[in-house]
Chains A and B, each alone.
Chain A
Amino acid sequence: MPNTSHNDDRIGAKFRELQKKGEGALVAYLTGGDPDPKAFLANSTALIEGGADIVEIGIPFSDPIADGPVIQASSMRSLSNGATPLGILGMIRELSSQFSVPFVILSYYNPILAMGLDNFLKKARESGVDGIVVPDLPVEESDDIRNLALKHNIDIIYLAAPNTSRTRLRTVLDKSKGFLYLVSLYGVTGPRDTLSPQALEAVKTVKSLAKGKIPVSAGFGISHPEHVSAVIQSGADGAIVGSALARIVGNHLDDPNETETQLKKTVQSLKSATRLRPG
């Protein structure tokens, strides 16, 4: 059983450990239960064996307004196979009992509300969840969940965008725990061929305001090792890759072994790109 009596700060510890080694963190995302529980567990294992530093698992939602077609499709696959928040927490429990990487949940607000904030966070903690990202819950609406997350020793990870004002950035940086999730572009999630023109500038701005007090990880449209090394070299402490991995799952639905092989190989090359810190 994970210890719930004190904050293990496993996410913070992971970033500190990587910083000592001169590496950035690779945060690898999959939608929970996609395409089915068994394959999802195998795919998550492939991410971890490939070298993911933190695993981010999505709770699928019927109306994912921040997500592009790839994650919409993965959410639909998972939901049509009967995935529920509780079921996915059960899968995370299996993973967290075998692997020591930190686990972060990404969920839209409604499934959390439906389970009850306190109940959701309690069960998440019992399953070994270390942090939570809620993409449709800006800091202004989040007092309740933040207080409860503190009680249950779960880091609440806020998002910042290229157009977040400096005043809001300070608030978001101040209230975020674990790391800050920087949306590196104007748009929804999805694989992109090139890094957005805003990405590197946004990383630099946010890093300068963070003053080293909280790690900053960049996500949305980070798809290739070159993107990962570019954001890390611009000062990001981590890179978050989601759609590029969910797309692999969608592309090889009839060949689970190929999915695992591809996921592991892709994560390996993304991870190597985090080792290219300057200095």
Chain B
Amino acid sequence: MKKHAEPKPRPRPGKFGKYGGQYVPETLMEPLRALEEAYNRFSHDPSFKKELASWLDGFAGRPTPLYLALNLTRHVGGARIYLKREDLLHGGAHKINNTLGQALLAKKMGKRRIIAETGAGQHGVATAMACAALGLHAEVYMGSEDMDRQRLNVYRMRMLGAKVHPVESGSKTLKDAISEALRDWVTNVQDTYYLLGSVVGPHPYPTMVRDFQSVIGKEARTQILREEGKLPKKVVACVGGGSNSIGIFHSFLHDLEVDLYGVEAGGESLSPGQNAAPLVVGREGVLHGMMTYVLQDDVGQVQTTRSISAGLDYPGVGPEHAFLMTAGRAKYVTVSDQEALEAFKTLSELEGIMPALESAHAASFAMKLAKNLGRKDSIIVNLSGRGDKDVEIIAKHLAQ
């Protein structure tokens, strides 16, 4: 073999097929390089891994149970439905898995000012918690519309010592909060760490956040094998940016007999502007630093989204999901606002578990699937968060 042949172009890291990449202003290329380098170093460092594991266990409450929802199973009359109880984590959602990982990394990198975006407020709260625990300063960008509908989380962030910046631009939701956080980062690159909350944005975020969230699937796979002695037929999770779903999917990717379902927000309908389902009704595009599926009009302007759940209200999606869909490994479907509300009610009344409206989307679709499976089969739903934050919205809808 010739040693000094022309270097062949090899796929750049951070690409999932054609998706992913780094579509960002030039000023961010250097901090992204530094982040990638630091992440590659620390993610292989045994002492970093040990420290993170200790935070996840002692502070966040890992491992979470895989709970057999017997009442729900009997009610549906099909496969045994297991709930991966990420709702039991500190803060009430899976988000803490990622914020502890990244906050620890930021600290190792010597960055003390942490910025984050948040939609429903769960990532903002999880960021504020991790930063308080690790002695870092958190500033969170949140769309003013989301601040109205998730007031409780705004209070929580402030009480945890974080500064919350209302975002008034564009649609005043998650998409604009990400844009504003990116603008802050471009301005303060030298001392600031951007703690992105989902598997979106430029490389290395989709890979790094997935790695931090993959603890969900690692545990779930071991737990189901212990309980059932075999793999589940299907794994179901909701998809906004897609971090809880990638987190639970990842350990099952090579188990080809396990069907993976990502559930997007069907909102009011599948007409433009009435949902948040880029994989189901969007098309390829570039948003927030990544090539992925985007809800957009004919000339490439990003569309506004609509969902009862603020955490799914995003016109883009993690690039690895775009890859899994086009490669045929995972299927993506929608559940409407109304169906999610019904699933919230069912789960609350039958199981005594109030799911986040985001996770209620996954539960709703899982019930449909379970019905058509045998009683010896099992299905796992990632219950990514608890519904306390949503009680006001739900009370309003149930009253109507």
* A contacts, CB < 8 Å to B: 61-66, 68-69, 72, 79, 84-86, 108-115, 135-138, 140-141, 158-165, 168, 172, 183, 186-188
Contact = CB atoms under 8 A, between A and B. Distances in A.
Given A136-B24, A136-B289, 17 more contacts: A62-B301, A65-B183, A65-B186, A69-B169, A109-B286, A110-B287, A111-B299, A115-B299, A135-B25, A138-B24, A138-B26, A141-B23, A161-B26, A168-B30, A186-B27, A187-B187, A188-B187
19 contacts: A62-B302, A63-B287, A65-B24, A66-B183, A68-B183, A84-B299, A85-B299, A109-B286, A110-B302, A111-B299, A114-B300, A159-B25, A162-B27, A164-B30, A172-B26, A186-B27, A186-B189, A188-B183, A188-B186
A110 B179 contact: no
Contacts of A72: 169
Interface string B8-43: 000010000000011111110111000000000000
Closest 3 CB pairs of A and B: A114-B300, A111-B300, A161-B27
B50 to A, nearest CB: 33
Contacts of A64: 179
Contacts of A136: 23-25, 286, 289
B27 A163 contact: yes
A113 B22 contact: no
Contacts of A162: 27
B374 interface: no
B6 interface: no
Contacts of B169: 69, 72
Interface in B299-335: 299-302
B376 to A, nearest CB: 48
A63 B170 contact: yes
A62 B170 contact: yes
B23 A137 contact: yes
Contact of B298 (A114, A183, A186): A114
Given A110-B286, A136-B286, A164 B29 contact: yes
Given A141-B21, A186-B189, A114 B27 contact: no
Nearest to B284: A113
Interface in B161-212: 169-170, 175-176, 179, 182-183, 186-190
A183 B176 CA distance: 23
